[in-house]
């Protein structure tokens, strides 16, 4: 068992965690990043990235995360391949334990563990991810300009994604397994008023139909939840919009979470309910969920952490002088 000590401990190595590491390292905090079960975050599962600022041409998600990691290491970040299984946030330095028994101690803690999209879990889904099946219309809708697309879900996320997709397509179908939506009333009014959106009620997706290596998704096989009838809907793209799982289970009982399980932070900051603990990226953001916004809150977390340490050190010096 080894103990690793740092002034700034960061959990998560996506855009938020690595941005926090870059800023923290440049401030001389010698951060340690514990990468977790998915090093690089969700972007490592994304192929074409067309909306990250600074790149005129399409870039690959894994390449972007590789470059972020190299930059973080170049300025002094230490990367650790480990998964945290236990946390103690009752006193500083905060103490975390990895699944191999290593101990990580940090004067401040930045949580950037992210969130995962919920998927349908049917067999045909995985092979078509990135080939017509997506969980983010804002990320991938641009690739379906002028094409026929479907959105699966009935909550706010599904309705918002359907409305967003009408910026690119005049043929959007919302598929919901019930006969009424769970989304806010004002969103439903916008949805029903949009001439480019068709709603299919009482339908569940049983299969994503693969048209082959070049074609990708070509259709969805649907089952009527009332009659059991099977039908097929032609589609070039399908967006699964049934919510996200924030990776916050480790922090239940240690930090304040909101009703959806996301880490609660003070408005306009990354400060959590425990002084010295900061949260950034999708683990605290259920609205935007973009790589660029995650990176921005990672910067905020590092700056908040640096200011917290400065204030703590000043208080300690003042107390010693008394």
Kindly list the catalytic residues: 136, 139-140
Using DSSP's 3-state secondary structure scheme, residue 271 falls into strand
CB atoms within 10 A of CB 119: 14
What's the farthest any 2 CA atoms get from each other in the chain? Answer: 80
Using DSSP's 3-state secondary structure scheme, residue 200 falls into strand
Q: Bridge-partner residues for 4, per DSSP? A: 104
DSSP for 55-91 reads -SS-EEHHHHHHHHHHHHHHTTPEEE---EEEEE-SS
Q: Are 126 and 149 in contact (CB under 8 A)?
A: no
Residue reference for tokens 């090093």: 39
The whole-angstrom separation of Cα 253 and Cα 270 is: 19
CB atoms within 10 A of CB 20: 35
The whole-angstrom separation of Cα 116 and Cα 244 is: 5
Residue reference for tokens 């204030």: 311
The whole-angstrom separation of Cα 161 and Cα 174 is: 9
The DSSP code for 53 is T
Measure the CA angle with vertex 45, ends 197 and 150; round to 5°: 10
Return phi, psi of residue 127, to 5°.
-65, -20
Q: How far is CA 271 from the centre of its chain?
A: 19
Residue reference for tokens 């690089």: 40
Q: How far is CA 135 from the centre of its chain?
A: 11
């Amino acid at each position: 068992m080894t103990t690793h000590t740092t002034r700034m401990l960061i959990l998560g190595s996506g855009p938020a965690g690595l941005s926090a590491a870059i800023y923290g390292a440049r401030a001389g905090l010698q951060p340690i990043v514990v990468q977790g079960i998915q090093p690089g975050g969700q972007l490592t599962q994304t192929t074409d990235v067309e909306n990250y600022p600074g790149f005129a041409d399409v870039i690959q998600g894994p390449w972007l995360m590789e470059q972020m990691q190299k930059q973080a290491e170049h300025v002094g970040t230490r990367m650790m391949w480990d998964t945290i299984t236990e946390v103690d946030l009752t006193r500083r330095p905060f103490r975390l334990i990895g699944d191999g028994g290593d101990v990580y101690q940090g004067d401040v803690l930045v949580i950037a563990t992210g969130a995962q999209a919920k998927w349908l879990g049917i067999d045909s889904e995985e092979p078509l991810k990135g080939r017509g099946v997506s969980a983010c219309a804002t990320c991938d809708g641009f690739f379906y300009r002028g094409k026929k697309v479907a959105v699966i879900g009935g909550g706010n996320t599904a309705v918002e994604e359907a409305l967003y997709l009408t910026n690119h397509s005049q043929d959007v179908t919302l598929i919901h397994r019930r006969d009424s939506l769970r989304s806010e009333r004002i969103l439903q009014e916008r949805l029903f008023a949009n001439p480019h959106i068709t709603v299919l009620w009482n339908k569940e997706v049983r299969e994503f139909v693969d048209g082959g290596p070049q074609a990708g998704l070509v259709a969805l096989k649907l089952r009527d939840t009332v009659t059991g009838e099977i039908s097929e809907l032609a589609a070039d793209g399908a967006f699964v919009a049934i919510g996200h799982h924030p990776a916050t289970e480790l922090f239940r009982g240690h930090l304040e979470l909101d009703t959806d399980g996301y880490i609660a932070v003070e408005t306009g900051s990354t400060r959590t309910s425990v002084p010295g603990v900061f949260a950034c990226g999708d683990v605290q953001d259920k609205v935007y969920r973009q790589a660029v916004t995650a990176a921005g809150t990672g910067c905020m977390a590092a700056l908040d952490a640096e200011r917290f340490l400065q204030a703590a050190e000043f208080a300690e010096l003042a107390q010693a002088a008394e």
